[in-house]
Structure 1
Amino acid sequence: MPKESQNILVISYSQTGQLSRLVEHFLKPLQSNDIYIEHHIIKPCEPYPFPWKFISFFNQFPETVHLQPAPIHSPELQQKKYDLVIVAYTVWFLSPSQPITAFLQSEQAQRHLKNTPVITLIGCRNMWLQAQEKMKSLLADCGANLIANVVKVDQSNDWASFITTPMWMLTGKKKAVAWLPSAGIAESEIKDMQRFGTVLLQKITENQPLDKTLFQNMGAVKIDEKLMMSEKVGARSFHIWGKLLIKCGQISPSFRKIVLYFYIVFLVAMILTVVPISAVIKRLLKPLIQKKLNEQKRYFAEPSGE
């Protein structure tokens, strides 16, 4: 048993409830008298709707991408210091969701995450690399020590989830149409989170240090190399257009909305053309760039690895 009680802080925000279930299964093995788990679900000052209205959903992207989140209610943290912090988040527009970003930018996060090991848990459609890069930066600004990352993605293939995930967001129904699979992460993958919680429990009970070896060689993440280039292109597009839309909004909210409609059309066209083209280019160039791809995969898979 651990020599003394361990204090674990869990920070999360989930609209659909799917991420909450991931967290629940991760924490299930840790329900022990010697482990104090303090779970705070971040509450925005103005709650986000679910299901979303079409334009409201896309209107979140400029501030999300530029890490300018809407305000949140500060959680009432009970401890001055935690032995471990778990940050569970979903991906919005290749970035951490606004409520999670808002918390990590707060003075609370600066105080409580400094010199503290952090585990990130991600539940998303399929693209999370660029979001985790921003997460790394936010954690570094807090002086936190990222020791592990566990990612679970949608069960559907990329093209099916391109339809099913937005339908879920806009209708609230995981299976909005009969001829496509359900949106979301497979039940088996959600339950698999217990495997990681069990390993964490073992480390704690054996008084082993919590470091970057925690979930290595467990398949904590899986890098889809054909999406790496697409994510990079998408992130650059979001950054440029997000900056433009913020400036348009400063001129007139109506002007911002007009430009946003134009960008939505542009975005869909880009997804339908750039993503497959980049995949083809990468496949053709793969023999020449395989070494670089392997290096990128190892980098993005850190600290837990594939």
Structure 2
Amino acid sequence: MKRVLVVYYSQSGDVTRAVESFTKFLQTAEIELTWECIKPKDNYPFPWSLYKFFDVFPECVNGEPPEIYPPKFGNDEKFDLIILAYQVWFLAPSLPIQGFLKSKYAKVLENTKVITLVVCRNMWHSASETMKKMIAEVGGIHIDNVVLTHQGPPLATFITTPRLLLTGKKNRFLGVLPAAGVRDEDIYALSRFGKQIANNLAALSDSSRQPMLQGLGAVEVNQRYVIPEFIGRLVYRPWAKIARFFGKQGSWSRIPIVCIFAVQLIFAIPIVLIVSTVVQLLFAPLIHKKIASYVELLKSPSGVD
């Protein structure tokens, strides 16, 4: 019998639905499936309040996660595979997942094969690379990455995603914009990955670090988001450090800084998208190779086709 641990954190419910679909074919007599929903000691309500949403920004970017409640699995338990499902907050893994990976409980990943499943709007590149590093730091063996993004073009999700986060409403907006979150069809399609794993259980016992989900369309990289994310990281870091200098999460002393950041971000996002488009058009010959190399890194380890 193979032991599979599912570690996840979800707010809107999309991550929960995604990982349930992913594991549909893993619920068999040959597999012992253990579920662990990360519970942070800090409260992250859903829907968010506007200020609370922006107040987690400095800690997300600076990598200062909250403490989490002890998981149900024991410190010495061993699993054949760990599926780690998470959201992206401010171009970084969500704070509860960071809290898990920086806790003593992350020891469970040591020398164990790990598959990550990210569910987010559309800018997942930075968070994915951060996750790879964090998994490696605790000795995990990252063999696959699956990416599931929200439906709709970027300008539409610029409206529908914040609406979802702040009101909890997923329905079509104004009869024009698509529903928020991920499509039901995309969630249902995740079951193909669990089926692939269930059909190749023997691979969980070998010592290779080969991907199991190649050829299944696990990840699709949209190159037009590469430069906007790069600019976003450059902009976020100083703001995060300044806000943190004025106090911890929830402190009144940093309210003005967080509010200023939130206002400028609303105007900065469309400007960054336009500037990055111009940069790619003007400097394409100079940056093509670097972007192509980065895209290949993002595709790893599962590939696209």
TM range (shorter): over 0.9
Of stretches 100-109 and 279-288 in structure 1, the one that deviates more from structure 2 is: 279-288
1:123 corresponding residue in structure 2: 119
Of stretches 48-57 and 175-184 in structure 1, the one that deviates more from structure 2 is: 175-184
For structure 2, the 5+ residue unaligned runs are: none
- How far off is 1:248 after superposition? 1.0
2:198 corresponding residue in structure 1: 201
Of stretches 253-262 and 97-106 in structure 1, the one that deviates more from structure 2 is: 253-262
Which aligned pairs between 1:22-61 and structure 2 lie closer than 5 A? 22-61=18-57
- How far off is 1:109 after superposition? 0.8
- How far off is 1:227 after superposition? 0.6
Of stretches 32-41 and 74-83 in structure 1, the one that deviates more from structure 2 is: 74-83
Could you say what secondary structure the match of 2:87 adopts? strand
Residue 186 of structure 1 aligns with an amino acid whose one-letter code is: R
- How far off is 1:286 after superposition? 2.4
1:68 paired to 2:90: no
Q: Which of residues 120, 144, 148 in structure 2 aligns to 1:148?
A: 144
TM-score by length of 2: 0.94
Distance in 1 of aligned mates of 2:284 and 2:62: 32
Could you say what secondary structure the match of 2:65 adopts? coil
Distance in 2 of aligned mates of 1:86 and 1:291: 33
CA separation of 1:50/1:58 partners in 2, compared to 1, >3 Å: closer, same or farther? same
Q: Which of residues 2, 7, 28 in structure 2 aligns to 1:6?
A: 2
Distance in 1 of aligned mates of 2:247 and 2:102: 23
- How far off is 1:206 after superposition? 7.0
* CA deviation map 1:185-239 (0-9, x unaligned): 1111101101111111111057774733311222111111111011111122222
Distance in 1 of aligned mates of 2:168 and 2:21: 23
* CA deviation map 1:129-165 (0-9, x unaligned): 1001111121111011110000010111000000000
- How far off is 1:254 after superposition? 3.1
2:295 corresponding residue in structure 1: 297
Residue 259 of structure 2 aligns with an amino acid whose one-letter code is: Y
Which aligned pairs between 1:100-119 and structure 2 lie closer than 5 A? 100-110=97-107, 112-119=108-115
1:218 corresponding residue in structure 2: 216
1:254 corresponding residue in structure 2: 252
Q: Which of residues 179, 183, 187 in structure 2 aligns to 1:182?
A: 179
Distance in 2 of aligned mates of 1:207 and 1:42: 24
CA separation of 1:207/1:165 partners in 2, compared to 1, >3 Å: closer, same or farther? closer
Distance in 2 of aligned mates of 1:60 and 1:46: 11
User: How many residues are aligned here?
Assistant: 301
Q: Which runs of 4+ in 1 moved over 4 A?
A: 205-208
Residue 134 of structure 2 aligns with an amino acid whose one-letter code is: L
Of stretches 223-232 and 74-83 in structure 1, the one that deviates more from structure 2 is: 74-83
CA separation of 1:207/1:121 partners in 2, compared to 1, >3 Å: closer, same or farther? closer
Residue 63 of structure 1 aligns with an amino acid whose one-letter code is: E
For structure 1, the 5+ residue unaligned runs are: none
Distance in 2 of aligned mates of 1:167 and 1:222: 25
1:84 paired to 2:81: yes
Query: How large is the Cα RMSD of the aligned pairs?
Result: 1.9
TM-score by length of 1: 0.93
CA separation of 1:246/1:125 partners in 2, compared to 1, >3 Å: closer, same or farther? same
Could you say what secondary structure the match of 2:220 adopts? coil
Could you say what secondary structure the match of 1:33 adopts? coil
CA separation of 1:171/1:109 partners in 2, compared to 1, >3 Å: closer, same or farther? same
| Contact residue 13 and residue 19 of structure 1 kept, 8 A | yes
